[in-house]
Amino acid sequence: MLGIIGAMDVEVNSIKSRIENPQKKTAAGIEFIYGTISGCEVVVAMCSPGKVNAALCAQAMIDLFGVDRLINIGVAGSLKENVAIRDVVIANDVVQHDIDITALGEPRGLVNGVNLIKIPTDAALSEAISYSAIKTGKKIHRGTVASGDTFVASDEKKKEIQNTFDALCCEMEGGAIGQTAYVNGVAFAILRTVSDGGDENAQIDYPSFKKIAAESSTAILLEFINQQQNYLK
């Protein structure tokens, strides 16, 4: 079964509406909608913003539905000049930029327990999503996606994250979903469409472009499902 997680209604409602014979289950305060899309078994949930919410949702989805693939979709803020609003970022790996225990001599971003700074996404799953994004006419980028419990809206913070982790974009859930999937042995991918520049204009750009960005992610995911029916069954 394929699990799909987004942080906001705008990121998942369109996908939920495509589910045939939808059923509902609630756990950990999260509503899970499950059924099929084009013959593929899927479960979709809105986790709400933030890493703890995302991890709770991912773990519940794994435990309750036995998903063997997880895709996190949604919007993101750009961290690099060449990553423009409406561009698509598909992660090669994820990092949690707000983990900082350097005072104890550990490198910035190190995730204790898995002992990694960057957690790799599933290569085959990410490649298939990239193919679907290109097929829908999107400009894509591959690289590191940085997560943290902060809406990045300053050049200073943007440059700090980019310089430390060489990340393409920032958001608030992918790193936690990636960590949860990784420790459970579940393949995962992160699909993000850029809604703002992660700078002082972010508060202006984000409301204007979040719906467009979310629709872009939805179109790519539906194309992916249509292309991967046999792979996902």
Task: Tell me how crowded residue 8 is: count the other CB atoms within 10 A of its CB.
Answer: 15
Opening angle at CA 47, ends 123 and 44, nearest 5 = 65
Known active-site residue 196:
yes
Task: Tell me how crowded residue 199 is: count the other CB atoms within 10 A of its CB.
Answer: 19
Beta bridge partner(s), residue 143: 91
Catalytic residue among 11, 87, 173, 205: 11
Query: Please, are residues 29 and 57 in contact by the beta-carbon 8 Å criterion?
Result: no
Judged on CB neighbours under 10 Å (0-12, 13-18, 19+), 119 is: buried
Catalytic residue among 196, 199, 205, 223: 196
Known active-site residue 205:
no
Query: Any long-range contacts for 201-205 (C-beta under 8 Å, 24+ apart)?
Result: 202/77, 202/151, 202/152, 202/153, 203/153, 205/85
Residues labelled catalytic: 11, 196
